Amino acid sequence: MTGPPHGPRRPTSADEILQGLDPEQHAVAAAPTGPMCVLAGAGTGKTRAITHRIAYGVWSGAFQPHQVLAVTFTARAAGEMRTRLRGLGVPGVQARTFHAAALRQLQFFWPQAVGGAPPEVVAQKAPAVAEAAGRLRLRLDRPALRDLAAEIEWAKVNLITPQGYPEAVRGRRDGVAGLDLTAVSRVMSTYEDVKGERHVIDFEDVLLLMVGILDAHPRVAGSVRDQYRHFVVDEYQDVNPVQQQLLDLWLGGRQEICVVGDPAQTIYSFTGASPRHLLEFPQRHPEATVVRLVRNYRSTPQIVQVANLVLGAAARGGVELRAQGEPGRAPRLTAYSDDVAEADGVAEAIRDLLGSGTMASQVAVLFRTNAQSAAVESALAAREVPYLVRGGERFFSRPEVRQAVLLLRGASRGDTGNAPLGQVVRDVIGGAGWSPQAPSAGAASRERWESLEALANLADDLSVVEPEMRIPGFVTELDRRATEQHAPTVQGVTLASLHAAKGLEWDVVFVIGCSEGLLPVSMAEGAARIEEERRLLYVGLTRARRDLRLSWAASRGAGGRAGRKPSRFLQPAGTLLGLAQGQGGSPAHKAPRAPRRPKTCRTCGAALGSAAERKVGRCDNCPPTYDEATFERLREWRLEVSREQNVPAYVVFTDATLTAIAELTPKTTAALAEIAGVGPRKLELYGADVLAVLAGQDVVPISRKNS
């Protein structure tokens, strides 16, 4: 949460809406009419401010909820806005993405403006681009087709036609996919022909067609303007020319608009986004009120200080954050010898964090390029740390989630209400693979289980807010969340690119690859691109709430030439990060690698398939070689520790690690440290106790040790 604390109770008056807001948020919310420009820094509570502005306008009688259109850029953000507005007692407000709002209008007005059924919207451009290239006898591979599709998208949102493309970009772009500007123009033109023959449109066409209809049909424009009389645009720094043109047509010269954005978070210029619309808003609307949200409620003062220093003058019209939180851990920059060592070091640190009670869902690893993810995934999997790759399959599209929702839908009539909602949900989704205990091995199995566990936990949470909710209501809520892409929290460390991390936050954030060539990325040329890379790093830094850890690697592969240097962007904060001015940071070191695991069963010699088998050194088909009484003592000890620390038992040690300890029966701390799953932190916390249990000694509970 960003902003002063507030409870879940719905307001009962307009004045109550304004309570608990800071002075700047109050200034936004208390003026619900007229043009307003809100320059909102990271973590300053902008969503809180604008939702309270809308709610205050409704509660005070300034406008009706159905007259408001709140526009943002992602379905998740729109869903979050709708959820907050419902909590403020104004459920009738429309909160949508630009594309969703335009598509809804296009489908409604197409029959009267054009005639017939509206065309279908294609999800991907690549097939039509490939056909267009084929008609022109161009042989292009998949990366080239993706680049062409992206160029077509960029041109369309910048209102550049295929015929005008060569002249519009000459001197600024050198063509795409090895094609000259004229060839790209021909592909663009043929792509439009292919779509026309198929009677389909792409997502950019949705905006362009709606702009055309509103411009050419005054009656349609009048109908839209009569419906929506007040507009709020979030993330306004990301608006592109066609979206701005659509917004202007929606407004029709009126002044009832509030825009919110941060020039320092402009990181999508490659899609046509520009902060120009935000920065020039006061000139286009001379009567506009300008409010700056500067109080950062998300991050510790130490994190805010580093972020401000890294950003420097790149804000250009933005705000300098002022931390409001309690002091925390100082961010540091760690140097590693190579990328694998960096991944291992980060994974080891994450395992220690989870062992100390940090929830996996509150940890993220951020990187500049998606290729950096593989080494981290491997390192986390080797340590059996659950993780989720953001930007992969959407939560409600996962097979196990679809199956669970189907089972819940079928069980709706059988819910008698005799058991708590969470218990009933768990009983039902057991058919989709949920179990009371998380799988002890296998990243894929663990990820599936975490998805189902998230549904069960959501049922628990909803039953607290709405005690009368049963399975039918829960299914309805899941359907709503699926439409809004409002996924529940899934336990797993998040791996995400810096672009994908925008709008999100975690307690602990690792930003890896903080070196020249990655930040800024090597393909970034020119001052404008370099400064956007700086803003991208700033976005990553401001995702962290209480713990920010930066790292870089001197070389790509083990034993490679140490040719990399720390990112130039970190130099302004070098003293705080332990980076000597003009130097390469602290000496690169090798991170502790995961213990080497056997590849064959020590009993039968068969190849070991799963991580759990390799950890134990025995295949599942062979009988255990541990003493059952010893294993039971270890399990009882683990259960007592997990209860005392209020964490799941697997956080102490997984079943596979416990089995390995029982089978190998280490006699010394050094021998215990060789077992996979026993890192330095767990060795420090539990090593003496484990050796005592193995020796048959009584172990004093932690609570009595500390009393």
Cβ neighbour number for residue 468 with a 10 Å cutoff: 8
pLDDT of residue 280: 92
Query: In degrees, to the nearest 5, what angle opens at C-alpha 256 toward C-alphas 254 and 262?
Result: 120
Helix (H) or strand (E) run with residue 223 in it: helix 218-227
C-alpha distance from residue 267 to each of 274, 312, 392, 535, 584 (Å): 9, 16, 20, 7, 27
Cβ contact 587:341 at 8 Å: no
CA nearest neighbour of 55 among 100, 22, 96, 19:
19
Burial of 444 (0-12, 13-18, 19+ CB in 10 A): exposed
Beta strands in 103-241 (DSSP E): 120-121, 200-201, 230-233
pLDDT of residue 239: 93
Helix (H) or strand (E) run with residue 632 in it: helix 628-645
Overall size of the chain counted in residues:
707
Residues 6+ apart with CB under 8 A from 494: 361, 363, 364, 365, 387, 388, 390, 504, 506
pLDDT of residue 578: 86
pLDDT of residue 110: 95
Burial of 687 (0-12, 13-18, 19+ CB in 10 A): middle
Cβ contact 560:338 at 8 Å: yes
Farthest-apart Cα atoms in the chain, separation: 87
Beta strands in 158-256 (DSSP E): 200-201, 230-233
Beta strands in 199-324 (DSSP E): 200-201, 230-233, 257-261, 289-293, 295-296, 322-323
Q: Which amino acid would we find at residue 167?
A: E
pLDDT of residue 31: 95
* Antiparallel, parallel or unpaired: β 257-261 and 289-293: unpaired
What is the mean pLDDT for each group of 10 consecutive residues in the chain (707 residues)? 49 89 96 96 95 96 95 88 91 93 96 91 91 92 86 93 92 78 94 95 96 96 96 95 96 96 90 88 94 96 95 73 93 93 94 91 92 84 82 71 92 85 92 80 64 87 85 90 71 90 94 95 85 94 97 83 90 87 47 57 66 65 78 87 75 81 88 81 85 85 52
Query: Sign (positive/negative) of CA torsion 669, 671, 674, 678?
Result: negative
Q: What's the token pair of residue 259?
A: 């825009």
DSSP 95: E
Cβ neighbour number for residue 163 with a 10 Å cutoff: 11
CA nearest neighbour of 280 among 241, 226, 326, 224:
241
pLDDT of residue 353: 94
Q: How far apart are CA 543 and CA 501, in angstroms?
A: 8
What b/e string do you get for 585-618 counting C-beta neighbours within 10 Å, with b at 16 or more? beebeebeebbebeeebeeeeeebeebbbbbbbb
CA nearest neighbour of 493 among 635, 625, 359:
359
pLDDT of residue 221: 96
Cβ neighbour number for residue 386 with a 10 Å cutoff: 21
Cβ contact 292:238 at 8 Å: no
pLDDT of residue 460: 87
Partners of 296 in beta bridges:
323
What b/e string do you get for 27-47 counting C-beta neighbours within 10 Å, with b at 16 or more? bbbebbeebbbbbbbbbbbbb
